[in-house]
Chains A and B, each alone.
Chain A
Amino acid sequence: MGTAVTEAEPTERDGEPVGTINVFDPHPLNWLFITWNTMEEPIRTDHDGYITMALAESATWRDETSLEVKVRPGVRFQDGAPCTAHSIKNDFDEVQTWAAPHPPGTHLNFHPDSQCVVEDDLTCVFRFPEPDGLILGKFRGFHIASPSFWQTHGFGYKKTGSGEGHW
Chain B
Amino acid sequence: MIDAPGPWGTGPFTLVEGHSSIDTVMAIQRVRPEFVATNLITGEDRTPRVVLEANREHNSGRTARLERVVFLNDLSPAEALDAVCDREGEIDIVTEVSPADAGRVQDSEHARLVTIDANRMLTGVFNAYESNDAPLHDVRMREALNWAVDRHRIAEEAFGGYAVPLAALTPTWCNGAKADLEPRRRDPARAKELAEAAGWPQGRALRIAGDGSLEGIARMIAADVEDALGIASEIIVVPPEQMVAGARALVEKKLVLPWDVLLNPWFDLSSDNPAAFVHREFFGHDGGFRAGPVDPEFDRIFGELARTIDADRSRALAEEIDRYVYEQSKALFLCAPNALYAVNRHVEFKAYRATFELADTEVSSNHWSRREG
Contact = CB atoms under 8 A, between A and B. Distances in A.
Given A31-B21, A47-B352, A153-B4, A3 B115 contact: yes
Given A30-B46, A77-B10, A1 B71 contact: no
Nearest to A53: B60
Nearest to B371: A19
A34 B15 contact: yes
Nearest to B161: A1
Contact of A11 (B280, B363, B369): B363
A63 to B, nearest CB: 9
Contacts of B8: 38-39, 77-79, 145-146, 148-149, 153
B36 to A, nearest CB: 6
B271 A26 contact: no
B277 A34 contact: no
B70 A72 contact: no
Interface residues of B, number: 126
Contacts of A167: 1
Given A31-B1, A36-B11, A72-B59, A106 B38 contact: yes
A79 B182 CA distance: 51
A41 B263 CA distance: 32
A45 interface: yes
Contact of A27 (B37, B63, B95, B117): B95
Interface string B338-373: 100001111111111111111101111111011001
B44 to A, nearest CB: 7
Interface stretch (B50-58, B131-139, B218-226, B254-262): B50-58
A146 B117 CA distance: 35
Given A1-B161, A5-B112, A22-B72, A61 B10 contact: no
A83 to B, nearest CB: 5
B350 A49 contact: no
Given A21-B93, A39-B9, A100-B39, A5 B270 contact: no
Interface string B272-296: 1100110011000010100000000
A44 B359 CA distance: 12
A137 B26 contact: no
Interface residues of A, number: 92
Contacts of B212: none
A13 B116 contact: no
Contacts of B92: 21-23
Given A22-B91, A31-B21, A12 B359 contact: no
Contacts of A99: 35, 37
B96 interface: yes
Nearest to B370: A19
Contacts of B305: 133-134
Contacts of A158: 3-4
Given A5-B115, A18-B363, A78-B55, A40 B11 contact: yes
A79 B73 CA distance: 27
B271 A78 contact: no
Given A75-B59, A78-B57, A107-B277, A20 B1 contact: no
A7 B345 CA distance: 9
Contacts of A40: 9-11
A35 B1 contact: yes
A136 to B, nearest CB: 7
B210 to A, nearest CB: 16
B68 interface: yes
B50 A18 contact: no
B370 A45 contact: no
B354 A45 contact: yes
Nearest to B54: A17
Interface in B84-140: 84, 90-96, 106, 112-117, 119
22 contacts: A1-B117, A1-B162, A1-B164, A21-B363, A22-B91, A23-B358, A30-B46, A31-B1, A31-B2, A38-B9, A38-B52, A40-B11, A76-B59, A99-B35, A100-B36, A100-B39, A105-B38, A137-B277, A153-B2, A153-B3, A158-B4, A166-B1
Interface of A: 1-13, 17-40, 44-51, 54-55, 61, 64, 72, 74-80, 83, 99-100, 102-107, 112, 130-134, 136-137, 140-141, 143-146, 148-149, 152-153, 155-156, 158-159, 164-167
Task: Pick the 8 closest A-B CB pairs, nearest first.
Answer: A39-B9, A49-B271, A78-B7, A165-B39, A24-B80, A49-B353, A17-B54, A165-B24
Given A9-B345, A22-B90, 10 more contacts: A8-B345, A22-B92, A36-B11, A37-B13, A38-B14, A49-B352, A78-B55, A104-B38, A134-B305, A137-B276
